[in-house]
Structure 1
Amino acid sequence: MNYQWYPGHMTKAKRMMQEDLKLIDLVIELLDARAPMSSRNPDIDELGRNKSRIILLNKADLADKSCNAQWKAYFKEKGFWVQEVNARTGSGIKNIWPLIKEACREKLERDRKRGIIGRPVRAMVAGIPNVGKSTFINSFAGKACTKTGNKPGVTKGKQWIRLNKEVELLDTPGILWPRFDSEAVGEKLAMIGSIKDELIHMEELAATLITCLQKEYPALLQERYQIITNEDAYMTLEDICISRRCFQKGEVPDMVRASAMVLEDFRSGKLGNITLERPEEWL
């Protein structure tokens, strides 16, 4: 399956980010905790070089808690400030302001020595599509400042949000890199919803997800769908059709409908707390 996708507005967004970096003290990058490395954009590493960096593991409530701890330790070792959050519920949000102060301590001290009073920390909020940037900003601000949605590509242009006298945030459109490092990265991004469903083969993607779950979380599949998992992902998907009565006319298993259900159950957390990748895979 080919997951290459780099719309024109993303190329434009990258140029805008480059232009705005001279105004920025801090880059706050949101990752999806279920696939932290696959949901990282190497462009942001390049753009944010020489800036203070905070990584927010968003949707941490949907991910495997033990894996969250591993990823948090992994990124801290790389020199990032890290926080687990759930932008939608507000979990972890109250810990971000102390993190910003710590990440920008040198900047704040430099301003103090220069007699500069009242200049806010300017932070760019960045991340790939549908990772929750706008939801995070609204949650952090305590009010609706940006448009949000559960589909990628809602934020099309930049906007400054002044939270208070101490912090200003720059919201940016989600950007993906032109070519993924591997097909597996594209698959994970499609699974978490960072690539529009219209661009993917639903049945093939669901089978790939089932293969991953059979390896790491077989009990979750069995409990959710009341089935005995099969080594063949497509046979497991067919069993799910039967268990959930997903049929076309003539009692023919509706694999597409079942595929959409499995993907939605994963994305919504109904399947359980699942992480698709582990730090040791990226060492």
Structure 2
Amino acid sequence: MAVAADDIRDRQRIIWDHFAAGWKKWDAALLGWHGPFGDAVIEDAWLGPDSVVLDVASGTGEPGLTAAALVPEGQVAMADISAGMLHVATEKAAGLGLTNVSFSVCDAAGLPFEDATFDAVLCRFGFLYFPDTRAALAEMMRTAKPGARISAAVWGRAAQNPWATLVLGALVQHAELARPPAGMPGVFRCSAPGFMARLFRQAGLVEVTERTVSTDLVHRSPESYWEFMQDIATMVALGLAQADREAQALIRSDVFQMLGRYEHEGAVRLRSAATIVAGTRV
């Protein structure tokens, strides 16, 4: 049975509020890991110094805060469904001395902005979780000015992302996880080659580009990686919560054993690949 979009949003709001503390704790690691993806989203948005920018699914502040530093004569509106995540973003903006930012707790399919407001719209890893990707994209297009760029990142194919599949594979093997209901968003939901480009073109965007950006998730030890994933990866923490103590121990053992393949020069290095897609609003 399909899950109603409102139910998915309510669940996500609760989950991301809960995980805000973990994202704050690991902020430096997340900035280093996700930075290349956010930079690519910004690059393909063609910002100018006076651009008015919308960052959808901002979470704890990226790539919106980076964009704000690049548009000193412009503004960045940051929107997210989680008040807890945006609270962290607000703290970070204050610490950076950024005054050209604003924050809105809202759903991507119901953005509280006027038509044709923004010169660019950014969305890093948001489409994975939107209950209705087409509705969210339609709202981004509505609030974008003619000629504005809409630029997004989604995770690439599972085979390109051992940072996630390492744990997910162990979870599937040892835990009797409930099958996700039809329509439930997920980390590899948008990973099929050409998926995002088709979505953008079907919505009426032109000058659509799609490319892959890769980097490594680096941790000093298997223990650090394991703690990180439990603190920031909702799919991992929720999956472990469904497993009994014996299964949890087996999952941890398998993950640590497999991490040995990825140790290099005293660190664990896990490949991470994302698709960057952008298009222009007519």
TM-score bracket for the superposition, by shorter chain length? 0.3 to 0.5
TM-score norm. by structure 1 comes to: 0.38
TM-score norm. by structure 2 comes to: 0.38
> Hey, which of these two has a bigger chunk of strand by percent?
2
